[in-house]
Amino acid sequence: MNKSDITTALKARMADGGLGIPGAWPNIGYDGALPYFEVTFTAEDRTGPLRGTLQRETGTMAVIVAVDVDTGTVQADAYADAIAALFPGALRLPITGGVVTIIKTPEIKGGYRADAEWRVPVLIRYSALAA
C-alpha cells in the first residue's frame, strides 16, 4: 500500500461521481471556470516500519465547491450534498495491498465568499489500512 494508491482511489470516486462540474486536482493546472470543485489531501497520521511499506494512514480529503457568488448558496450546497453522498461513512474502497475506509459522514462546512466565488468545503475523513 502506498500514498499514490490511497489518493488515486479517492480521486477516482470523485471523478466517477457524475457531478457535472470539472475538478481542480492536486498539482494539475485548472483555469478556474465556474462552477468547479478543488481537491486537497492532508495526511494526519502515518504508521509503518522505519523502512518499508506503509501500514496505516488517516487523513482528510478536502473538497471545496466553488460557484459564482451571484448564484446564491443553493447551487453550491447542492454540489456539496452530492459530493458528501459519494462518500458515506463506512464506505470501503479497495486498493493494491489494502483498503481505504471512510471513517465518518463527510462534514459540509459553512460557505464563504472568496472574491467572485462562493465556496463550500466538504471534509472527507478516511483511514487506509494495509491488508
Beta strands at 92-95 and 98-102: parallel, antiparallel or unpaired: antiparallel
Which of the four pLDDT bands, split at 50, 70 and 90, describes residue 81?
A: very high
SS3 83: helix
Q: How many residues does the chain have?
A: 131
Residue 61: predicted pLDDT: 98
Reported as a single tens digit per residue, the pLDDT across 13-22 is: 999 999 999 9
Task: Tell me the mean pLDDT in the region 5-12.
Answer: 96
Domains and CATH numbers, the chain: 3-130 (3.30.2000.20)
Model-level pTM?
A: 0.92
The residue to which cell 460557505 is assigned: 111
Query: Of 52, 60, 27, nearest to 128 (Cα)?
Result: 60
Q: Give the 3-state secondary structure of residue 70.
A: helix
- Gap between the Cα atoms of 97 and 53, Å rounded: 10
Task: For residue 107, report the phi and psi dihedrals to the nearest 5 degrees.
Answer: -100, 125
Judged by DSSP in three states, 53 sits in: coil
